[in-house]
Amino acid sequence: MALLYNSAEPLKKGQNIRPPLGSFFNGQSYYLTLYPEMGNPNRSVLVVKMVLQFQFKNGSGGSWTQGEKESYAHSFVDGVIAVWNEKFRITTTSTIPAQNCRDVGVVFNLPYFIDGWHTDDDFELSVTKVPSTADWQVSTCHYSDGNTTLDSNDLRPETKGASMKQRDAVHEFGHMLGLRDEYPEAKTNLNHTGDTDSIMHKGETVRERHYAPFAAWLNKQFEVAAQLSKSKIEYKVNGKTDMSNALL
């Protein structure tokens, strides 16, 4: 069951921290809020909110119907949430944060607009309609512009060489979080080239390292508390992984 949280009582909030991605833009792509978990006084929930703006473009596959647009946007959000939500706990052994802030789950909140023009979106997804029989095409995420380019087949599971199929759009969401490609041909992050099932490689498995930026965000929220208590407050994914060993 999805984690329930008390949205009336935010504990911490702020924009994302960029992973150290070389030339990648160092701006905002999403917003995080930590809330108390409902029904569990010893845990909290980190909500990763990204407002999506879908721009549907007619193409070689013809014109989008309104129903097709809604179905695509809905399937994108459903697919991303199924793959990315609640994969690991982020914990700290420090006793400085309140008890419920020491054990944190992660969920994604992805409101979206279909077409039109809005100033409050975090990411624009341009989706071109291609024939449903068209071969798989490489999608792109231009992180620095807040743009992702997809086509109408990008929610179709493709066999790429992992033990499971991969939907391009669900992989692109990883780039929207600031994560880099891990398959060797991309020549961006070559630290995990053997991990073919990884979502940033050719599969759909989210790894501990992919949550490390959220652990870093929690560290930042408790920076002042750490200084005041003259102690270290270190959050780690599954109690093990943070930016120091995630090799992002």
Of 92 and 148, the one with the shorter C-beta distance to Zn ion is 148
- Measured from the CB atom, the residue of 181 and 208 that comes closer to Zn ion is 181
Identify which of residues 11 and 179 has a Cβ nearer to Zn ion in the complex.
179
Least distance (Å) between residue 181 CB and Zn ion: 4
User: Could you tell me the smallest distance in angstroms from the CB atom of residue 150 to Zn ion?
Assistant: 12
Q: How far apart are CA 58 and CA 124, in angstroms?
A: 16
Closer by beta carbon to Zn ion, 181 or else 242: 181
CB of 175 to Zn ion, least distance (A): 6
Q: Please report how close the Cβ of residue 179 comes to Zn ion at its closest, in angstroms.
A: 9
Burial letters 140-173, b for 16+ CB under 10 A, else e: ebebeebbbbbbbbbbeeeebebeeebbbbbbbb
Q: How many helices (H) and strands (E) does the chain have?
A: 4, 11
Q: Return d(Cα 49, Cα 71) in angstroms, integer.
A: 21
| Nearest C-alpha neighbor of 143 from the set 161, 117, 123 | 123
Q: Kindly tell me which of 11 and 176 has the beta carbon lying closer to Zn ion.
A: 176
Distance CA 31, CA 27 (A): 11
Torsion 83-85-87-90 (CA) sign: positive
With CA atoms as reference, report the closest residue to 29 among 113, 126, 143, 131. 143
Q: Specify the stretch interacting with Zn ion by CB under 5 A; choose among 58-66, 107-115, 144-152, 173-181.
A: 173-181
Sheet-wide strand order for 112-114: 112-114, 52-57, 123-128, 147-151, 140-142
- Non-local (6+) Cβ contacts of 133 within 8 A are none
Residue whose CB is less far from Zn ion, 19 or 97: 19
Contact segment (CB under 5 A) with Zn ion among 8-16, 30-38, 97-105, 175-183 equals 175-183
Contact letters for Zn ion, residues 116-155 (x by CB under 5 A): ----------------------------------------
Q: Minimum Å distance from CB 171 to Zn ion?
A: 6
Q: Is residue 183 within 8 Å of residue 204, measured between CB atoms?
A: no
> Any contact of residue 182 with Zn ion (CB under 5 A)?
no
Instruction: Considering the complex, state which of residue 37 and residue 181 has its C-beta at the smaller distance from Zn ion.
Output: 181
Q: Does 181 bind Zn ion (CB under 5 A)?
A: yes
Q: How far is the CB of 159 from Zn ion (least distance, A)?
A: 16
Count residues contacting Zn ion (CB under 5 A)?
1
Task: Catalog residues that contact Zn ion under the rule CB under 5 A.
Answer: 181
